[in-house]
Amino acid sequence: MSSQLEHILSHYQDESREIANVDEPVRSLVLFKLADKNYAFYGSQIKEILAERPVSWVPGCPPSLEGAINHRGRVESVITINRIIEAPEQPVPGKRTLLIGRGKKMQSGILIDKLIDVLDVAESQIHPAADNLSAALQKVVAGIVPVGREYFALLDLDLVFERYLESSGYDDTRA
């Protein structure tokens, strides 16, 4: 028995093998559900994950602005991205989650239906978005990420905020 093991081990020692590089760059992702669909943001764009809290309604605001919250002494806007990505707005049983996202042009709370996970994914697992996405999603999706047996549309928060500002009538040339 030991001679067989020695033979196998010597075979592996004699072979000149190239060692695979496993130091692949990874990206942290925040996975969530919105209208029973899977989405993700880059973790670097999400500053905090909060339990839902009361949102104060602000009159005269665009429909995608849910309102505002007091968060650590700061007034934060809270938006729903359903209309931006053309996801139906539906009542969600239980409490929703609030993501505090920061992009290049703005920071805001974002209401999501359910937080799934925060995990690191190899960059090679982020695939280009498919051509069959809706026109609204094509404008904000950075890629598609398989996680287990499910796929998540990876949203670029800067593009989401840009679409939000466009839809709300904000003109950044005045700023």
Q: What is the DSSP string of 18-64?
A: PPPP----EEEEEEEEETTEEEEEEGGGEEEEEE----B--TT--TT
Residues 27-55 have pLDDT tens digits of 999 999 998 999 999 999 999 999 988 89
d(CA 90, CA 100): 21
The residue written with tokens 């999501």 in the block is 112
pLDDT at 44: 96
d(CA 38, CA 42): 14
Report which DSSP code applies to 127.
B
pLDDT at 46: 97
d(CA 46, CA 7): 54
Q: For residue 18, is pLDDT > 70?
A: no
Q: What is the pTM of this model?
A: 0.80
Would you call 158 helix, strand, or coil by DSSP? helix
pLDDT at 10: 62
Q: For residue 171, is pLDDT > 70?
A: no
CATH of 23-167, one of 2.40.50.180, 3.40.50.300, 1.10.3720.10, 1.10.760.10: 2.40.50.180
Residues 122-139 have pLDDT tens digits of 999 999 988 888 888 999
Of 175, 172, 60, 41, the residue nearest 110 (C-alpha): 41
What φ, ψ does residue 45 adopt, rounded to 5°? -95, -10
- The domain spans of the chain are 23-167
The band of 62, judged by pLDDT with boundaries at 50, 70 and 90, is confident
Neighbouring C-beta atoms of residue 72, cutoff 10 Å: 7
The band of 175, judged by pLDDT with boundaries at 50, 70 and 90, is very low
Mean pLDDT, range 116-122, rounded to an integer = 95
The separation between CA 141 and the C-alpha centre of its own chain, rounded to angstroms, equals 10
pLDDT at 132: 84
Neighbouring C-beta atoms of residue 68, cutoff 10 Å: 18
Report which DSSP code applies to 45.
G
